Amino acid sequence: MKKEQELKDIVKERYTQIAEQGKAENAASCCGATTPSNKIYNIMMDDYSETDGYNETADLGLGCGLPTEFAKIKIGDTVIDLGSGAGNDCFVARHETGAEGKVIGIDFTPIMIEKARTNAEKLGYNNVEFREGDIDAMPVSDAIADVIVSNCVLNLVPNKQKVIEEIHRVLKPGGHFSISDIVLVGNLPDALKEDAEMYAGCVAGAIQKSEYLQLITDRGFQNVTIQKEKPITIPDDILSKYLSVDEISAFNKDATGIFSITVYAEKEGDASEKPKIKLSEISEGLTCSPDTGCC
């Protein structure tokens, strides 16, 4: 069993490569990490192209849902996007929160941060900021976010409980999140669970759906709701890299299921009493430099 840091390094290395791939290649594989399938395009991702705020340059085809569609973002909100990639979900969120709000994207892959900042600069968004860091140790202060979104990222983090704790920490009382992610029902074959490429491909790092939801409720989040759920089918030409013909047949007949779910939950507290935070207050406690992008 690989240690947490080893798994993080695997993901960081792979997503550095993914950042340079085209959207079609990413979308035809498992989160861009595995060999593209010849049979199915768009294995996991949903189509953003008709979404207000969509930016084609920032869409790398890596998601498994449309969390911003369900996130109930309002004008003036402060929104944090976990695993922000090239910035697409941040730009969609910015459309919802308007110039009066603030959007912060967090990603631990330097090239993704660079791409996202370039995209934001081209769009002229001075209220969209990208910070390099781990989502299980977010580089933001306590209780600053009205809304948190994330698209197919928590499954890549070894310590998912720590991420849930961090989400709770940075949300304001009464704040909420809408997160799309990959979960399992039943057990994956060992060959899939142990393969580094499948881990970076969002599947091997996924946990049981029941465990995922329990982590959220155990932390005290309220009104936990599955907003959308869809099955994920891994084509045989991808599975053949890891399983024999007989194993593929057994896997496809098994009760095991891989699902994309979009989960909504609220932090305890009265949302009507949440103080509005000025943009200057959001960067308190963070040392500003060209590397953080918060100057």
Q: What is the pLDDT of residue 256?
A: 72
Average pLDDT, the chain: 78
Residue 34 has pLDDT above 60, yes or no: no
Report how far residue 105's alpha carbon sits from residue 133's, in angstroms, rounded to the nearest whole number: 10
DSSP character for 75? T
Q: What is the pLDDT of residue 43?
A: 46
Residue with tokens 């891994």: 234
CB burial class (10 A; 0-12, 13-18, 19+) of residue 118?
middle
Q: What is the pLDDT of residues 232-264, one digit of tens each?
A: 777 777 778 777 888 888 777 776 778 889 999
Residue 273 has pLDDT above 60, yes or no: no
DSSP character for 172? E
Q: What is the pLDDT of residues 58-70, one digit of tens each?
A: 666 667 788 999 9
Q: Stretch 95-111: mean pLDDT, rounded? A: 95
Residue 189 has pLDDT above 90, yes or no: no
SS3 label, residue 164:
helix
Global confidence as pTM = 0.77
Give the start-to-end residue ranges of the domains of the chain.
Answer: 1-28+41-183+205-234+257-266
User: Alpha helix locations (H) across the chain?
Assistant: 4-18, 23-27, 67-70, 88-97, 110-123, 160-170, 190-194, 196-200, 209-218, 236-239, 245-253, 279-282
Q: What share of the chain is helix, strand, coil (3-state, %, to 5)?
A: 35, 20, 45
CATH, domain range 1-28+41-183+205-234+257-266: 3.40.50.150
Q: What is the pLDDT of residue 160?
A: 92
Residue 42 has pLDDT above 60, yes or no: no
Contact 81, 89 (CB under 8 A): yes
Tokens, residue 63: 């998601």
